[in-house]
Structure 1
Amino acid sequence: MKNDHRINLIKLSTVLLLLAGPTLWAQPVLETGGQPMPDEWIDKTTGHKVIRLTKRPGNNMSFYFHNRPFAGNTMVFYGTDYLNTARNDSVKQETGNIPALNKQLYSVDLKTLEVRQLTFQKSPMNGEIVAPQSRLVYYQVRDSVFSTHIDTQETRLVYVFPEGFKGSITTLNSNETLLAGAWTQPRDRGQNRSNPGRPSTFDQIYEARDPRTLFTVDVKTGELQKVFSDSAWLNHVQFSPTVPSLLMFCHEGPWHKVNRIWTIDVNTRDTTLVHRRTMDMEIAGHEWFGPDGRTIWYDLQQPRGATFFVAGFDTQTGERKKYALTRNEWSIHFNLSQDQKLFCGDGGDPRQVARAEDGQWIYLFTPDGDRLKSRKLVNMQHHNYRLEPNVHFSPDGQWVIFRANFEGHTEVYAVAREKPKK
């Protein structure tokens, strides 16, 4: 009887331990990166749990920071296979430029971590557009736009650009009726994003002053509407996540030369400048919509490389906010939790604009008066920042998701907001 009682106590203790969830002792405590990592570990420096989300062979890439990759508890990402990875040179490995051949879209269930391949395209593809209500992902192959259902993988042709107007889609509005993007001159198509390794190209495209056009495409009727044209480099086109007609775009170029951030109402065609520079070498950029769909947040430096803020502009009231941070806390990209109470950042190495000596971290930020109070989540000392980590909060706000190459190839990871229970 005593032995039976002891066995029952052991069984009960085991069940209670399982119900208690992850504990500190259940995960190896390791220095992050510089070697192959297990699927889960505790960052030795910060004490926070890190997990690999993309458990499949090859290079895997999360979406750009302002492109929302979630449909419910499903996250969409790009991946390629090891055969393609082997064809990459070291620079492409560092920058995370996945080869076009075999680059496909995948999904991962954030609860079960089950990975599924969504697309099976034979030609190069691009586009990071998830429709959370209809559970579709939109992307472009040459001049054709497709949608694929996340659950069924049913794929349909949505639109084909006409000859003479080969635009690129980048965003979908909140009621999932309109795609939008920008058209550029054929001679500089494909060069519409900043390349930190080639500043001369960045300047040349800006100085060319070629005409560019913002457009929308109705996903049901295929109607193309040209909504705005300018002799400026129009980029970072993104719809509000709550206001169907509100479209944000930027005047791309050297940030200290442009009044960068703008909005347009695609129905009335009214445009608004979000932030006007007020001093020499002031810069504002890497803008994104907060979850409320009315506040635009951005990196603000007054002047560049000297004083650092995360600033916000309410498009409905005109109210402005500005949170200060230190040089080391500055991040290439910031993001905001769904409840709008916390920010996260992906840090930066000494080559970035902040010239931070100790900035290679994934950060969590809490507003504290007119400043942001930081907490370090992941030590990124083994990450090559030619690949931008591009942080996102998970839908439940409990994890910060980022991409990194600290294992020698590119993967997508999540770090827990709170430390494990001891």
Structure 2
Amino acid sequence: MKHFLGLLVLFSLGVSAQGDPPVLMTGEGGTMPGEWIDETTGHRLVRLTDADDTRSFYFHNDPFLPTADGQDNLMVYYGEVDGDLQLFTLNLQTKETAQLTTQPGRKHGEIVAKNRREVFYQIRDTVFATHVDTKVTREVFVFPDDFKAWITTLNADETKLAGTWSSPEKDSILEAYPKKSEFFERIFDAEILHKLFVVDVDNGFLEPIHSEQTWLGHVQFSTTDPNTLMFCHEGPWHKVDRIWNIDLATKDITKIHERTVHREIAGHEFWSRDGNTIWYDLQIPRGETFYLAGYDTRSKELRKYAMDRNEWSIHFTISPDQQVFAGDGGDPSQVAGAEDGRYIYLFEPRQDSLASTKLVNMQHHDYQLEPNVHFTPDQQWIVFRANFEGSSHIYAVAIKPYP
């Protein structure tokens, strides 16, 4: 079974081996060629995976790391093998792929440790790490019977994993009401005990660090400070003060965003590359005015970049040089209610607003699968996942228009 398309080797050349790619409506009629020009936007797309049901990482989980010799870049992703999703690497320059995992069972975590050159993940109650080069897998930690929980993030010096624990009542609600539309309000209203915890990667020491009688989630370590952990109060965004930081040394918590009006919402937060800013979707109030906001953790100042309703995206991300952003758009069922928002976007800050460029027309994509955009390390492409061919594949779109 193939998990790649040979066109990736052409990334640095900017030309197709067969001449100019065809100009097509993305996703129209289902199956697309391996490479094409989006007729709406004029940008080139390449399918990175041929096998059905391949998935790129969640928007704030960085999937990239250099090759062992530092010459190329690898992307870690999920691919289905015999009914299980396994982790793979794809060399973005040579098109080579390698399967990292073989264990059965659903995998959680998807954390790339660039210095250790390992990928951390969890199967049931056990955390594993697989080395990207040697493929050697080690057992990192087994959760005890009285503390079953999930890891979600690794700190900047790669010494501690973190995640959330919840009382069994939450699992009971999820089992009885598996759809998000059914469990979301129920879990929030139940005021279930949750705990944040860290696990030492080398000695397996488990330490609960914070507890609240409310739903905690979206846990992310700072990209640069190994002692700063961001978390959120989950639930209806207009009912919660969502974004918080905790200092691992002092256990002090800090509210990141103070709401100013009724039904104001802030969420889908993520760290800047330098660890100085927390970026998030801000609406004042919900569904009416839209911003990409950045809270400076040093100066405590807030920047707000306004955008049009149609430019609102489920998730945003920032480029490696921190100069531009990308977004994955949304359909009319999302909070923005955008009638023409189904695009992959590039955003450039212009004073107090964002100038947008449409990269991919996503009108044939079902947004129940979130695209989750990522800049490639060279900032020439944006990687995303989509189902406009009928199953989930991973794609890359060139940031520059096709010549």
Query: TM-score, normalised to structure 2's length?
Result: 0.92
Residues in 2 aligned to 1:172 and 1:263: alpha-carbon distance in whole angstroms: 15
CA deviations on 1:252-271 (whole Å, 9 max, x unpaired) are 00000000000011111111
1:139 to 2:134 alignment: no
Show the 5 A alignment for 1:181-200: 181-189=163-171, 198-200=180-182
CA distance in 2, matches of 1:395, 1:19: 13
Distance in 1 (CA, whole Å) between partners of 2:76 and 2:48 is: 11
Partner of 2:337: 355
Q: Which residue in 2 is equivalent to 1:59? A: 53
- Structure 1 counterpart SS, 2:282: strand
Q: Does the 8 Å CA contact 1:54/1:108 hold for their aligned counterparts?
A: no
Distance 1:37 1:320 in 2: 43
The corresponding residue for 1:130 is 112
Letter in 2 for 1:50: L
Alpha-carbon distance in 2 for matches of 1:30, 1:191? 45
Partner of 2:3: none
Distance 1:219 1:19 in 2: 37
Task: Give the alignment partner of residue 120 of structure 1, picking from 102, 111, 118.
Answer: 102
Instruction: Tell me the distance in 2 between the aligned counterparts of 1:20 and 1:206.
Output: 51
| Aligned equivalents of 1:237, 1:189: Cα separation in 2 | 19
Which of residues 401, 406, 411 is equivalent to 2:388? 406
Asked if residue 77 in structure 1 is aligned to residue 70 in structure 2, the reply is: no
1:211: how far off? 1.0
Letter in 2 for 1:150: V
Tell which deviates more after alignment, 168-177 or 72-81. Answer: 72-81
Question: Which of 335, 338, 343 lines up with 2:317 in the alignment?
Answer: 335
**Kept after mapping to 2: 8 A contact 1:145/1:157:** yes
Shift of 1:25: 5.1
Q: For residues 139 and 325 of structure 1, what CA distance do their matches in structure 2 show?
A: 36
Per-residue deviation, 1:114: 1.8
In the TM superposition, residue 419 of structure 1 has moved relative to its aligned partner by 1.3
Q: Distance in 1 between matches of 2:39 and 2:188?
A: 44
Gaps of 5+ in 2: 1-10, 67-72
Q: Mean alpha-carbon deviation: is it higher for 330-339 or for 106-115? A: 106-115
Seq. identity, %? 56
**Which residue does the alignment assign to 2:45?**
50
Higher alpha-carbon Rg: 1
Task: Decide which of 350, 368, 371 is 2:350's aligned counterpart.
Answer: 368
How far 1:20 moved relative to its partner?
Answer: 6.2
Distance 1:60 1:124 in 2: 14
Matches within 5 A, 1:162-311: 162-189=144-171, 198-311=180-293
Deviation at 1:113, TM superposition (A): 2.2
Distance 1:395 1:322, change over 3 A: same
CA-based RMSD: 2.0
2: distance between equivalents of 1:257 and 1:228? 21
| TM-score (ref. length: structure 1) | 0.88
Q: Secondary structure at the match of 1:201?
A: helix
What's the counterpart of residue 22 of structure 1?
A: 15
Q: Which amino acid aligns with 2:15?
A: P
- Mark the CA change 1:174 to 1:38 in structure 2 (over 3 Å): closer, same or farther: same
Measure the CA separation in 2 of the matches of 1:196 and 1:394.
Answer: 34
The amino acid of 1:402's aligned partner reads F
For 1:240 and 1:59, how far apart are their aligned partners in 2? 31
In structure 2, C-alpha distance between the alignment counterparts of 1:106 and 1:20, rounded to whole Å = 25
Determine the C-alpha separation between the residues in 1 that align with 2:330 and 2:354: 17
Match of 1:36 among 31, 39, 45: 31
Could you tell me which runs of 5 or more consecutive residues in structure 1 were left unpaired when the two chains were aligned.
Answer: 1-17, 85-101
SS state of the match for residue 412, structure 1?
A: strand
Which has the larger displacement, 124-133 or 43-52?
124-133
The Cα of 1:133 is off from its aligned counterpart by 1.2
Cα deviations by residue, 1:380-418 (Å, 9 ceiling, x for unpaired): 010001111011111111111110000000001110110
